[in-house]
Amino acid sequence: MNGMTVRECYHILNLSPGASWSEVKAAFRRCARQSHPDVARSSSRDFERISEAYMTLRDRFRSGERFEEERAGEKGRKIDLSWMWDPFVKASSWVSRTVEDVSRKRKEKKEERERTRREEEARRARVLDDAISEAEESLEAILSRVDRPGSVSDRGRLLKRLESSLPEVRSLAIGRLLPSIGSSEVSSAIERCISRFGLDEEVIDGLATLKDPMGSLRYAMAGAPHFRSMTLGVARKYLKWIKSIPGGKSIYSGLPEPASSQVAGVLMAQWPQDLPLPPVSRIESFLASKDEALLVPLLRQLYRRGCPDRLMLRIRAISEKSEDPAVKAWSRAIVCRSTVV
């Protein structure tokens, strides 16, 4: 502490050399408020330097040592200011001693909270793992007793599940019956299930793996009447599947008009090139839609294959009124081609 010169002490407190005691005290309070670790969230080094400078000046004032900047009338005077300094010095000393203790305790509390949090997360993970393992073991035990491969009773239960009103139950049952689909009993039951309830994406994925073209064609035709109510995802997979089946493209012509204009758009986008377009009456119904998801693929097909004269008035109206750029472009292209011809 005594290594600082008086000039350095004044400089640390942002004072000019020779400042009075009241100025020193005010400067210390100001600097202490700004640099205290609890306020500035910095290291305690700056605060300790300020405290050291303050106490050095305090000792000088208490001992009555002369300052170069003192006035002539005050030379040689011994001033005892301990009665003013003692309370503030005691507070400053306490702060200096406890700065590091407070910081250390805060760090310890933070580490303790973090350790407790990690232990709680690990405990929850163990509980969850134990619950999952127990559920898996129970499920395996049930399946080993109930669903033995090739078991006649097992097949009977699965065939019974094909009549369930829950799509998930039927889908799981079909998936488990696919290895036995060579059986006429199983094949007929699956075909009846599809005819009654239709298809979903998981069932289509399973049927697409079959190597029997005739069987695949029967299942595809069984699901065709449900095309009207298919969702967009199911319709996409269904159309792709039937196009891959030998003879499956012919199913396109018999598909009912879908309720969703987006599904109708997928139908026109995937319509086989070697298959005539749907009847003009159905195309007229499609052209009445304002959904570009349907109009764009339909107009593209009409442009490539040629547009019947019966549809030109409607397409010309679409080219004039539509606000969709793609719809307007294809419809105008059809109108321009008919004018040139």
Residue 318 within a domain: yes
- What CA–CA distance (Å, rounded) separates 311 from 288? 11
> CB neighbours of 219 closer than 8 A, spacing ≥ 6?
190, 191, 194, 207
Residue 82 within a domain: yes
Neighbours of 261 (CB within 10 A): 16
Residue 65 within a domain: yes
Of 30, 78, 33, 86, which is closest to residue 58 (Cα–Cα)? Answer: 86
Of 83, 90, 84, 71, which is closest to residue 26 (Cα–Cα)? Answer: 84
pLDDT tens-digit readout, 90-141: 555 665 666 667 777 888 888 888 889 888 888 887 787 677 667 656 655 5
Q: Position of tokens 């199983």? A: 186
Which of 81, 112, 143 is the last residue in one of the domains?
Answer: 112
Q: What global pTM score does this model have?
A: 0.54
Residue 226 in contact with residue 220, Cβ under 8 Å? no
Q: Position of tokens 């079909």? A: 174
Residue 76 within a domain: yes
Which of 54, 83, 112 is the last residue in one of the domains?
Answer: 112
Domain that holds residue 338: 277-341
- What CA–CA distance (Å, rounded) separates 313 from 330? 15
> CB neighbours of 228 closer than 8 A, spacing ≥ 6?
256, 257, 258, 259
* Mean pLDDT, the chain cut into blocks of 10 residues (341 residues total): 78 87 86 71 71 85 61 46 53 61 79 88 78 64 50 78 90 91 91 94 93 93 95 95 93 93 95 92 93 95 92 93 93 85 49
The reported pLDDT for the residue numbered 124 is 82
Which of 75, 92, 112 is the last residue in one of the domains?
Answer: 112
Residue 37 within a domain: yes
Residue 103 within a domain: yes
